[in-house]
């Protein structure tokens, strides 16, 4: 399992790597408790680590450290666990990490580590030569214990979500995905890129046509996978939605890997395990929560992206920036993708089955889905619908609409008002036909489950439509 959805997230690394500092920040991002093992030991023993080293010796400290680590990792309640720099030297700790945690190595070179902690109060950071030798000895142990490597908070959060981001990642996909495989791919993408793996390929039509029960049934009947096999979804958000749903239901559930090729997919749709298909009555009315074993994001794939698809993705980027309270749309593409993916991963890890906070990700989407349904999923496009939905949400929130208007430039669309209203009233988050909206109290301050007078909501929807 390449993610920490139901497991501990363990941080390992040399002295000065930032395990305690990053651990606290990541724990807050993921809504988990932080277990800083050095601090826990100090509280339980009534002594500092330095005092234990001085009075009892390193050998006894390692025994106490291992006992604390094993007890913490055996606890079934997932936590962020920051281990001491030498914990990986104990074999039983390495085994427990493999069994109970997704382990991330926070890399730091010996020179940087010495600059940060050398000559301080740490017993093993008094002599630079021995410090560097210790670093050299431990690095292979960190590599053995770790499932992923990171240098910052976003990198740790992405690792926790099983998400790899990097240019050229597609060419290395075979290193990340092994075993019995079949690929479900967008037919258009297959015309631009070779299949990412040497495995049987099933083509899907692009766009919302992929998310039909007919398309899904065809895939169920074509697949020849066993229970321990993996489906690889290669395409945009519609492809990953459909392929993920197929994976969730075929043989009562097989593993899957998402390889998103569009900006929508890379910053939103392929992250978090929500899968689904459409019905004539509404979008995503049938689906399942089925977290991908891994999500491989290669921003270089965006170089072949048509302008319409780029606009669709930017609508999700603006949404994420509004939720985060940061102008993420101003970042270079690689960083924009990375930060948006990390934001969504954190929200979804906090609320993997959308029982609460995850609903914030639907900002603007209640209106967007209504417009898409009224347009029979042909017009407006998903991106244009989301842009309009964000505009409606900001207006109802009394917030500045400039980010949406300046970046996305949405134009009202021509759809049947009554059909759009009926679809909005049937939205998954409606209660007794009354829409529950996601609005903003301010940048970075979303609120969910907001009920407004029907006249206000209907007027906001009508303002998005032209006759």
pLDDT per residue as tens digits for the range 248-293:
999 999 999 999 999 999 999 999 999 999 888 877 889 999 999 9
Q: Is the pLDDT of residue 192 over 70?
A: yes
Per-residue pLDDT band for 214 (boundaries 50, 70, 90) equals: very high
Provide the pLDDT for residue 208.
84
Whose CA is closest to 364, among 384, 347, 380, 338? 384
**Residues comprising the chain, all counted:** 467
Please write down the HEC assignment for all residues of the chain.
CCCCCCCEEEEECCCCCCHHHHHHHHHHHHCCCEEEHHHHHHHHHCCCHHHHHHHHCHHHHHHHHHHHHHHHHHCCCCCEEECCCCHHHCHHHHHHHHHHEEEEEECCCHHHHHHHHCCCCCCCCCCHHHHHHHHHHHHHHHHHHCCEEECCHHHHHHHHCCEEECCCHHHHHHHHCCCCEEEEEEHHHHCCCCCCCCCCEEEECCHHHHHCHHHHHHHHHHCCCCCCCEEEEEECHHHHHHHHHHHHHHHHCCEEEEEECCHHHHHHHCCCCEEEEEECCEEEEEEEECCCCEEEECHHHHHHCCHHHHHHHHHHHHHHHHHHCCCHHHCCHHHHHHHHHHHHHHHHHHCCCCCCHHHHHHCCHHHHHHHHHHCCCCCCCHHHHHHHHHHHHHHHHCCCCHHHHHHCCCCCECCCHHHHHHHHHCCCCCECCECCEEEEEECCEEEEEECCCHHHHHHHHHCCECC
pLDDT at 430: 63
Which CATH number applies to 164-305: 3.40.50.1100, 3.40.50.300, 3.30.360.10, 3.40.50.1970?
3.40.50.1970
How far apart are the C-alpha atoms of 294 and 40, rounded to whole Å?
32
Within 13 A of 376's CA, how many CA atoms are on the CB side? 1
Q: Which are the contacts of 409, defined by CB distance < 8 A and separation ≥ 6? A: 387
pLDDT the model gives residue 96: 97
The tens digit of pLDDT for each residue in 360-388 reads 999 999 999 999 999 988 889 888 999 99
Right CATH number for 8-153 from 3.40.50.20, 3.30.70.20, 3.90.190.20, 3.40.50.300? 3.40.50.300
What are the extents of the domains in the chain? 8-153, 164-305, 357-462
Q: How many angstroms separate the CA atoms of 386 and 363, rounded?
A: 9
8-153 and 357-462, same CATH topology: no
Q: What is the CATH number of domain 357-462?
A: 1.20.1090.10
Weakest-pLDDT range from 52-61, 323-332, 425-434 = 425-434
pLDDT for position 11: 98
Percentage of the chain exceeding pLDDT 70: 99
Cα 344 from Cα 363, distance rounded (Å): 13
| pLDDT number for residue 429 | 66
pLDDT of residue 63: 94
| Phi (first) and psi of residue 414, to 5 degrees | -105, 100
pLDDT score at 378: 85
pLDDT > 70? residue 409: yes
Residue pLDDT, tens place only, 298-338: 999 999 998 888 988 999 999 999 999 999 999 999 999 99
310 exposed, middle or buried (CB, 10 Å; 0-12, 13-18, 19+)?
middle
Question: In whole angstroms, what is the distance from residue 273 CA to residue 281 CA?
Answer: 23
Distance (Å, rounded) from C-alpha 341 to C-alpha 272? Answer: 10
pLDDT at 275: 95
Backbone angles phi, psi at 297, to 5 degrees: -110, 115
Give CA–CA dist 383/416, Å, rounded: 19
Residue 178 reports pLDDT greater than 70: yes
pLDDT-derived band at 435, boundaries 50, 70, 90: confident
Q: In angstroms, rounded to a whole number, what is the distance separating the alpha carbons of residues 62 and 84? A: 10
pTM: 0.92
């Amino acid at each position: 399992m390449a993610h920490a959805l139901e497991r501990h997230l363990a941080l390992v690394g040399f002295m000065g790597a930032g395990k305690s500092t990053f651990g606290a920040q990541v724990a807050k991002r993921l809504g988990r408790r932080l277990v800083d093992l050095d601090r826990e030991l100090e509280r339980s023993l009534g002594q500092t680590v330095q005092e234990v080293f001085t009075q009892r010796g390193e050998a006894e400290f390692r025994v106490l450290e291992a006992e604390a680590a094993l007890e913490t990792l055996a606890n079934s309640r997932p936590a962020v666990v920051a281990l001491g720099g030498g914990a990986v030297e104990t074999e039983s700790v390495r085994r427990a990490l493999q069994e109970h945690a997704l382990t991330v190595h926070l890399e730091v070179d010996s020179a940087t580590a010495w600059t940060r902690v050398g000559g301080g109060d740490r017993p093993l950071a008094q002599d630079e030569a021995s410090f560097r030798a210790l670093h050299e000895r431990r690095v292979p142990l960190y590599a053995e214990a770790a499932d992923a490597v990171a240098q910052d908070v976003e990198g740790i959060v992405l690792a926790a979500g099983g998400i790899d981001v990097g240019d050229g990642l597609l060419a290395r996909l075979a290193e990340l995905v092994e075993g019995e495989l079949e690929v479900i791919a967008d037919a258009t993408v297959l015309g631009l890129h070779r299949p990412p793996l040497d495995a049987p390929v099933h083509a899907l039509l692009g766009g919302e046509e992929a998310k039909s029960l007919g398309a899904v049934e065809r895939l169920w009947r074509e697949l020849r996978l066993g229970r321990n096999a993996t489906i690889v979804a290669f395409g945009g958000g519609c492809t990953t939605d459909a392929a993920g749903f197929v994976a969730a239901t075929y043989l009562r559930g097989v593993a899957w890997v998402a390889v998103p090729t569009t900006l929508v997919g890379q910053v939103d749709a392929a992250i978090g395990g929500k899968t689904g298909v459409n019905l004539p009555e509404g979008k995503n009315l049938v689906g399942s929560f089925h977290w991908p074993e891994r999500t491989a994001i290669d921003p270089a794939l965006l170089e072949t992206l048509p302008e319409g698809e780029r606009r669709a993705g930017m609508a999700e980027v603006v949404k994420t920036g509004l939720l985060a309270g940061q102008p993420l749309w101003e970042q270079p593409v690689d960083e924009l993708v990375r930060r948006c993916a990390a934001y969504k991963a954190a929200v979804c890890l906090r609320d993997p089955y959308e029982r609460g906070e995850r609903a914030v990700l639907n900002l603007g989407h209640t209106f967007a889905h209504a417009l898409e349904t009224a347009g029979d999923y042909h017009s407006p496009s998903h991106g244009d619908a989301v842009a309009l939905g964000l505009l409606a949400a900001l207006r109802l929130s009394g917030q500045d609409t400039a980010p949406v208007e300046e970046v996305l430039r949405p134009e009202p669309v021509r759809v049947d008002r009554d059909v759009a209203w009926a679809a909005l009233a049937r939205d998954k988050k409606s209660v007794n036909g009354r829409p529950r909206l996601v609005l903003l109290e301010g940048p970075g301050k979303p609120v969910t489950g907001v009920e407004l007078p029907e006249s206000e909501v209907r007027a906001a929807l009508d303002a998005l439509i032209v006759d």
